[in-house]
Amino acid sequence: MTAGPVAAKIEAKLKAALQPARLAIRDDSHRHKGHAGHNPEGESHFHVEIVSAAFAGKNRVARQRMVYEALADELKQRVHALALTTLTPEEDRAR
């Protein structure tokens, strides 16, 4: 499945801002049909798993704020919900 334009923007912005060692973006919009914020065109609800050294020494809330800051425009426009898993490379290896 090819990523849509919103997912591609998310990927580009997170790569530029956080230089992730690993980044996985999943469009979960189809799971939210009939719920608030659902867009019939899709790409409104995402799950992002990102592994970045930039998260070292930061708590979960600070890490999420870093992601939200990088994606501020998308969150104001098309993206209604963003579920995040934010890990350092060390945390990712320990999983």
For the chain, domain boundaries:
15-77
For residues 36 and 80, is the Cβ–Cβ distance under 8 A? yes
If you write DSSP's letter for every residue of 34-75 in order, what string do you get? TSTT--TTS-SEEEEEEE-GGGTT--HHHHHHHHHHHTHHHH
Predicted structure pTM score: 0.86
Block means of pLDDT (10 residues each) for the chain, length 95 residues?
A: 84 98 92 59 88 98 98 93 97 96
Q: Which residues contact 72 (CB under 8 A, 6 or more apart)?
A: none
pLDDT in the model for residue 16:
98
- Domain 15-77, CATH homologous superfamily name and number: BolA-like (3.30.300.90)
pLDDT in the model for residue 3:
79
pLDDT in the model for residue 43:
84
Calpha distance 22→38 (Å, rounded): 28
pLDDT in the model for residue 2:
55
